[in-house]
């Protein structure tokens, strides 16, 4: 709650949720930046698709905004917090579905435990309340994987594992949702379901940043940022 | 209490602490970091011998210092922390030999030098046992209070970080605790073998349980059993305590593989 109040105070009257000014990120040992001189802002409730070919810097961009990668130059603000300096506070209000989610068959954590970890991150010392487990059940039910709750995540199929990660992101009730290729392992029926679900979240005024290489038909996208070789090639307003 | 009771108690506690730590370290994939910390502790103990200081204090100091400098050096140089750990490991090895040669008395023949290299039952004093018991209580308390946090980090450190968890803080806390455990265990099993006591029980537990808490519990029990049986064999056959503990752990490992194979 405190974090939400600070967020309002820091915004100086703008509605921007994400702001980037001349951001470049270089991986350790590399000379060429993975993203170069990126400047844009995303308003509250916007649904933005980041697309482009392989190696365009889409994932790097998401991880730089979240402060998981340190930018070499430029300024970033996420929910009013300066990134990476105050990244931990900003991330409490966000959810991230990573691109690399597949777990090995010997992964021991159960699906419901993985989803519960999403809530535990926002609780003091990670302690869960009884009500939190009800939310976990609801998230699993929403994604249609209630029957997998007790199964170790490593024993699930790629698509099922991806749904567990999406459930973990949604159970946090985030202000900003970062999704990196969330359709990659899903079958056609599940892709349509997730696409509809994202539309609903958009209607609920959630800010969504979606990285997708070949997304299904996305009706309610506000903007598409097309990247090539670490730069923004074009911005398409829908 | 007689020396053997002291030794059995200390080895059982030390074995269980090492077993649990090994399971957590393997999950976090920080084995090379802990490898450097273990050799830092050995180097610290050797330094203590050379300058005539308390080896426990010098060993813990270097172990904690190592845990705290690997990350910042890696951040400052852009070199992966595992590579920095291996550089430190080499430096510590070289320094250990130098400090041992500089220690008073005939090098390698001295009882104290032997104690830090392959462990000694004479290291188990009243003060040492108290320290071990205090560490056990602290370790259990921290793991119990912060278990949900650790669970999330053990599953996926980067994802926990993306959700606003200060993963560095928790991982460093664990590394420092493991540093202290290694330093204490080093007195019993010795610098050459302490690493085995971290990983053999952890490897056995993977065969025994499909759940993390089950693996942690079983690695604690196996570490403890290795410690007790190692001490008994050591007393009975008059062999070095550290080597006997590791051989006992290895026998349990072979048995766990055979049981898994038969199943």
Task: Return the HEC string of chain B.
Answer: CCHHHHHHHHHHHHHHHHHHHHHHHHHHCCHHHHHHHHHHHHHHHHHHHHHCCCHHHHHHHHHHHHHHHHHHHHHHHCCCHHHHHHHHHHHHHHHHHHHHHHCCCCCCCCHHHHHHHHCCHHHCCHHHHHHHHHHHHHHHHHHHHCHHHHHHHHHCHHHHHHCCCCHHHHHHHHHHHHHHHHHHHHHHHCCCCHHHHHHHHHHHHHHHCCCHHHHHHHHHHHHHHHHHHHHHHHHHHCCCHHHHHHHHHHHHHHHHHHHHHHC
Q: Which residues of B207-246 are buried (b: 16+ CB within 10 A; e: fewer)?
A: bbbeebeebbbbbbbbbbbbbbbbbbbbbeeeebbbbbbb
In this predicted model, what pLDDT tens digit does every residue of A181-190 receive, in sequence order? 999 889 989 9
Average pLDDT on A119-130 reads 91
Please name the member of B146, B164, B206 whose beta carbon is closest to the beta carbon of A121.
B164
Average pLDDT on A220-226 reads 92
pLDDT of B124: 81
Q: Place A3 in a pLDDT band, splitting at 50, 70 and 90.
A: very low
A94 pLDDT more than 90: yes
Q: Place A14 in a pLDDT band, splitting at 50, 70 and 90.
A: low
Q: Decide if B137 touches A, using CB distance below 8 A.
A: no
Looking at beta carbons, which residues of chain A come within 8 Å of B212? Answer: 108-109
B interface test, pick of A121, A168, A209 with most B CB neighbours within 10 Å: A121
**CB count in 10 Å sphere of residue A187:** 11
Q: Do A120 and B148 lie within an 8 Å CB cutoff?
A: yes
Looking at beta carbons, which residues of chain B come within 8 Å of A128? Answer: 148
Count up the domains in chain A and report the number: 1
B191 pLDDT more than 80: no
Residues in chain A whose beta carbon is closer than 8 A to a beta carbon of chain B? 28-29, 66, 68, 87-96, 98, 106, 108-109, 113-114, 117-118, 120-123, 125-128, 152, 172, 178
Residue A143 lies in a domain: yes
pLDDT of A10: 43
CB A41 within 8 A of CB A18: yes
Please name the member of A29, A89, A96 whose beta carbon is closest to the beta carbon of B162.
A96
Contacts of A124 (CB under 8 A, 6+ apart): none
Distance from CA of A113 to the nearest CA of B (A): 9
What is the residue-averaged pLDDT of chain A?
90
Q: Place A152 in a pLDDT band, splitting at 50, 70 and 90.
A: very high
pLDDT of A181: 93
Distance from CA of A34 to the nearest CA of B (A): 16
Residue A153 lies in a domain: yes
pTM: 0.87
Q: Is the dihedral of CA A82, A87, A92, A97 positive or negative?
A: positive
Q: Decide if B85 touches A, using CB distance below 8 A.
A: no
B108 pLDDT more than 70: no
CA pair distance A125, B143, nearest whole angstrom:
11
Kindly state the helix (H) or strand (E) to which residue A17 belongs, with its residue range: strand A16-25
Q: Do A121 and B158 lie within an 8 Å CB cutoff?
A: no
**ipTM, two decimals:** 0.89
Residue of A nearest to B79 (CA): A28
pLDDT of B111: 64
A interface test, pick of B148, B210, B215 with most A CB neighbours within 10 Å: B148
What is the residue-averaged pLDDT of chain B?
88
Distance from CA of B111 to the nearest CA of A (A): 45
Range of the domain at A157: 102-173
What CATH code is assigned to B3-262? Answer: 1.10.3470.10
Q: Decide if B149 touches A, using CB distance below 8 A.
A: yes
Q: Place B140 in a pLDDT band, splitting at 50, 70 and 90.
A: very high
Q: Do B146 and A68 lie within an 8 Å CB cutoff?
A: no
Looking at beta carbons, which residues of chain A come within 8 Å of B158? Answer: 68, 98
Residue of B nearest to A67 (CA): B162
Residue A26 lies in a domain: no
CB A153 within 8 A of CB A103: yes
Q: Is A197 helix (H, G, I), strand (E, B) or coil?
A: helix
Whole-number percent of chain B with pLDDT over 90: 52
Residue A161 lies in a domain: yes
Q: A16: which strand partners?
A: A43
Please name the member of A68, A90, A109 whose beta carbon is closest to the beta carbon of B212.
A109
For A159-163, B120-124, B134-138, which range has the lowest pLDDT when averaged over its residues? B120-124
Average pLDDT on B24-39 reads 90
Residue A44 lies in a domain: no
Q: Where are the domains of chain B?
A: 3-262
| Residue B73, burial from CB neighbour count under 10 angstroms (0-12, 13-18, 19+) | middle
Residue A166 lies in a domain: yes
B150 pLDDT more than 90: yes
Distance from CA of B7 to the nearest CA of A (A): 35
In this predicted model, what pLDDT tens digit does every residue of B192-218 receive, in sequence order? 778 888 999 999 998 888 889 999 999
Contacts of A236 (CB under 8 A, 6+ apart): A223, A224, A226
Please name the member of B145, B166, B215 whose beta carbon is closest to the beta carbon of A88.
B166
- The owner of tokens 């104690």 is B115
CA pair distance A172, A122, nearest whole angstrom:
8
Q: Do A117 and B211 lie within an 8 Å CB cutoff?
A: no
Q: Taking a contact as any Cβ pair under 8 Å apart, which residues of chain B between 2 and 41 contact chain A?
A: none
A214 pLDDT more than 80: no
Residue of B nearest to A118 (CA): B163
């Amino acid at each position: 709650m405190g974090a939400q109040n600070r967020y309002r105070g820091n915004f100086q009257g703008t509605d921007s949720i994400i702001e980037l000014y001349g951001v470049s990120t270089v991986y350790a040992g590399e000379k060429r930046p993975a993203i170069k001189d990126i400047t844009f802002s995303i308003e509250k409730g916007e649904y933005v698709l980041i697309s482009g070919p392989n190696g365009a810097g889409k994932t790097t961009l998401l991880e730089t905004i979240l402060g998981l990668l340190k930018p070499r130059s430029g300024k970033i603000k996420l929910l009013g917090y300066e990134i990476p300096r105050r990244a931990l506070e900003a991330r409490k209000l966000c959810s991230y579905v990573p691109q690399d989610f597949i777990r090995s068959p010997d992964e021991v954590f159960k699906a419901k435990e993985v989803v519960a970890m999403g809530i535990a991150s926002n609780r003091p010392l990670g302690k869960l309340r009884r009500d939190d487990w009800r939310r976990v059940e609801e998230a699993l039910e929403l994604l249609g994987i209630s029957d997998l709750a007790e199964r170790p995540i490593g024993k699930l199929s790629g698509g099922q594992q991806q749904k567990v990660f999406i459930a973990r992101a949604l159970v946090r009730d985030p202000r900003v949702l970062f999704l990196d290729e969330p359709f990659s392992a899903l079958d056609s029926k599940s892709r349509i379901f997730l696409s509809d679900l994202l539309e609903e979240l958009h209607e609920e005024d959630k800010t969504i940043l979606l990285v997708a290489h070949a997304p299904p038909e996305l009706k309610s996208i506000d903007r598409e940022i097309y990247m090539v070789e670490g730069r923004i090639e074009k911005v398409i307003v829908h | 209490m007689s020396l053997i009771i002291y030794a059995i108690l200390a080895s059982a506690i030390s074995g269980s602490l090492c077993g649990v730590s090994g399971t957590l370290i393997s999950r976090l994939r920080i084995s090379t970091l802990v490898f450097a910390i273990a050799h830092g502790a050995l180097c610290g103990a050797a330094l203590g011998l050379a300058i005539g200081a308390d080896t426990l204090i010098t060993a813990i100091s270097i172990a904690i210092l190592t845990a705290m400098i690997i990350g910042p050096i890696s951040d400052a140089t852009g070199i992966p922390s595992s590579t920095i750990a291996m550089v430190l490991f080499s430096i510590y090895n070289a320094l250990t030999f130098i400090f041992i040669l500089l220690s008073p008395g005939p090098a390698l023949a001295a009882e104290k030098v032997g104690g830090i290299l392959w462990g000694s039952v004479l290291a188990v004093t009243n003060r040492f046992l108290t320290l071990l018991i205090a560490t056990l209580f602290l370790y259990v308390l921290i793991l119990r209070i912060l278990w949900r946090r650790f669970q999330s980090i053990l599953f996926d450190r980067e994802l926990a970080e993306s959700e606003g968890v200060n993963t560095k803080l928790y991982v460093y806390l664990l590394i420092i605790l493991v540093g202290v455990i290694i330093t204490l265990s080093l007195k019993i099993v010795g610098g050459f073998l302490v690493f085995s006591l971290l990983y053999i029980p952890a490897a056995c537990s993977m065969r025994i349980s499909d759940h993390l808490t089950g693996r942690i519990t079983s690695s604690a029990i196996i570490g403890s059993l290795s410690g007790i049986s190692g001490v008994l064999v050591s007393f009975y056959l008059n062999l070095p305590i550290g080597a006997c503990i590791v051989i006992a752990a290895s026998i349990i490992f072979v048995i766990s593989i055979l049981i898994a194979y038969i199943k």
